[in-house]
Structure 1
């Protein structure tokens, strides 16, 4: 992110940031209606190829996003605030508190019907009515945020259980962590995302998987291939005690992607995606094994598991790799909150360029 920016390079960066956030929302919306369905049920309901596009969910609407996209956007809002604070006041290190506060605002949207009326002005994401929707949020995210913990940003990652939910490694860590890779180089994105994950999840695999996603995204934004980004992230992971579960999951995804025609049955050998390292591995496999963006996204949601999270992560990766122009435009058009997501992405891209 350092060095001179030309108009062209800034435009490419903006497209990748937009692509990452919009791609995540597309994958989330594809998978949300079938999140708790088995592969057999998905196929019996939607045909032998499973989900082939956006379908109505339990709420009867198409293109709805879940807590994955919601929390990612609040992560973005916190990062924008942190970058602006550092630039304008020269104060660094406040981002964990700003991130925790952003997640507390998200938590507010999970219990209220909409922005408060007649009180203090509600700005930012708290003013967006469409975000006031409870879409199967993870228990560790809910309980963790309620503890109001902000990790020390200066401590080294030691592979030991964190203070909050020390045994939890659910995919709620990784599904919200792509934005860290949009404003930082990989070696900074990794520890930042890992520390951010510790606000809610203390298991080392949970926070290392979050760091790994952020690092992969950072490499993609810098122009690396997906395979190259994963390989470089594996080298980064190896520096940290307790990385083995995350490393093994990514290595298995790389190996499986090299084994010919991708299938849902192969995908399911990597797990169901309810825990962080499995969700990341499933997303990486789909993005690597399927050359087409649309087909990769569909593969990532047609399985027995956490379809919205694996779809969201796959979309993050593909969007960061190809930019928003590489996403299926008809799907993007139908996404809930699309204009807000795009505007927030542009604000994040602008802050990273200024930084």
Structure 2
């Protein structure tokens, strides 16, 4: 399923479409479950987690933000990234094709949810996602994300926003770029990096985002997790300033061979607050996971940015195994499940059947109301 950037594969069989939709659902829902599992213990030390929940740590949702299964800014921003990628494909009918711009506009819509009381029905560009009232909640958004989106100027690789920031805020929202299954891996990497610098301009911040997107891309295309990690390392090697990100990934791979997975081994990779550590921790937990449940609990039971490492691990395992691998009890309580499912299905439909939904000669009015061209 390879093609030029922005184009759909020439032919999607029905089986291909069903498999792709399952992996898109798995990626978004798996990431949200990992996010929600970590939300209630973020900022706590491993000793504190074990003291409160037993030697194994948490084994279920812990209430956060007034409920069980609550998601954070990790999931919010991932959702708006998906919205931006759909908009980019829809707007291509107009002759405009610059996905970083459409993703930036989507992230500005997310930023508006962090400062406004609720949806503004007067905005012609809002679309359906920005009208979801439950998304208008502050869930510990990162300062770099808020600062980078405080004005309309879009950061670029040549003039990035927050050039000293390598927090995990760009990596945590980059799984959707990997869902562009018809793109070449090099283009997926480039797009993720270009969108990362809109808020996180440090070379490690945006290269880690690119590497993570390539890992997702590989597993969605059926290449296997280890092969996808190796491809990410190969693409990193050609990028100036890759050493920090490459070293973190190699440390994760070494940890896989060092012995049975433990919380202490996860912590040996860092705390997850910065991009390369979050990437390494999420990768490690996915690589050693016995199943979705085991991998996600390993990814959140540590003294660090538990929701982000849980989200990254969940993105990977969901992309790898699809939606049916998700633990049903966690899925049932997940905040925003219906919205996530709708968004996942819309993304899958756009990528596999976009020409039937919109074209320069005729389009579905309902689809354009959901994803305006403006």
Matches within 5 A, 1:204-243: 204-243=203-242
Shift of 1:244: 0.7
Quote the Cα distance in structure 2 between the aligned partners of 1:354 and 1:3: 11
1:262 corresponds to 2:261 = yes
1:261-309 CA-partner distances (Å, limit 9, x unpaired): 1000011010000000100000000011122110100000000000000
1:169 corresponds to 2:176 = no
Shift of 1:120: 5.0
TM-score normalised to structure 2 length: 0.89
Quote the Cα distance in structure 2 between the aligned partners of 1:262 and 1:281: 14
Quote the Cα distance in structure 1 between the aligned partners of 2:248 and 2:263: 17
Partner of 2:362: none
On the 8 A contact 1:96/1:151 being kept in 2, the answer is no
1:18 to 25, 33, 38: 25
Quote the Cα distance in structure 2 between the aligned partners of 1:239 and 1:71: 28
Quote the Cα distance in structure 1 between the aligned partners of 2:21 and 2:184: 15
Shift of 1:350: 1.5
- Secondary structure in 1 matching 2:40: helix
Quote the Cα distance in structure 1 between the aligned partners of 2:326 and 2:213: 20
Partner of 1:304: 303
Shift of 1:151: 4.6
1:91 corresponds to 2:96 = yes
Matches within 5 A, 1:5-44: 5-44=12-51
1:114 corresponds to 2:113 = no
1:182 to 179, 183, 199: 179
TM-score normalised to structure 1 length: 0.93
Partner of 1:285: 284
- Secondary structure in 2 matching 1:113: coil
2:86 to 80, 83, 89: 80
Matches within 5 A, 1:132-211: 132-151=136-155, 162-183=159-180, 184-211=183-210
After superposition, the CA RMSD in angstroms is: 1.5
1:69-115 CA-partner distances (Å, limit 9, x unpaired): 000000000000001112x234322x222211111111111122222
Partner of 1:48: 55
On the 8 A contact 1:185/1:219 being kept in 2, the answer is no
Quote the Cα distance in structure 1 between the aligned partners of 2:116 and 2:268: 39
1:180-224 CA-partner distances (Å, limit 9, x unpaired): 110133221101000000001110000000001111000010001
Partner of 1:100: 104
Partner of 2:134: 130
Quote the Cα distance in structure 2 between the aligned partners of 1:123 and 1:166: 31
1:147-200 CA-partner distances (Å, limit 9, x unpaired): 423255xxxx6xx8x531111000001000000110133221101000000001
- Secondary structure in 1 matching 2:160: coil
On the 8 A contact 2:155/2:199 being kept in 1, the answer is no
On the 8 A contact 1:264/1:299 being kept in 2, the answer is yes
Number of residue pairs matched by the alignment? 344
On the 8 A contact 2:272/2:278 being kept in 1, the answer is yes
On the 8 A contact 1:169/1:202 being kept in 2, the answer is yes
- Per the alignment, do residues 256 and 120 of structure 1 end up closer, same or farther by CA in structure 2, a change over 3 Å counting? closer
On the 8 A contact 2:41/2:62 being kept in 1, the answer is no
Worse-superposed segment, 133-142 or 104-113: 104-113
On the 8 A contact 1:185/1:218 being kept in 2, the answer is no
Q: Which runs of 5+ in 1 are unaligned?
A: none
Quote the Cα distance in structure 1 between the aligned partners of 2:10 and 2:236: 26
1:320 corresponds to 2:319 = yes
Quote the Cα distance in structure 2 between the aligned partners of 1:296 and 1:345: 22
On the 8 A contact 1:22/1:338 being kept in 2, the answer is yes
- Per the alignment, do residues 290 and 127 of structure 1 end up closer, same or farther by CA in structure 2, a change over 3 Å counting? same
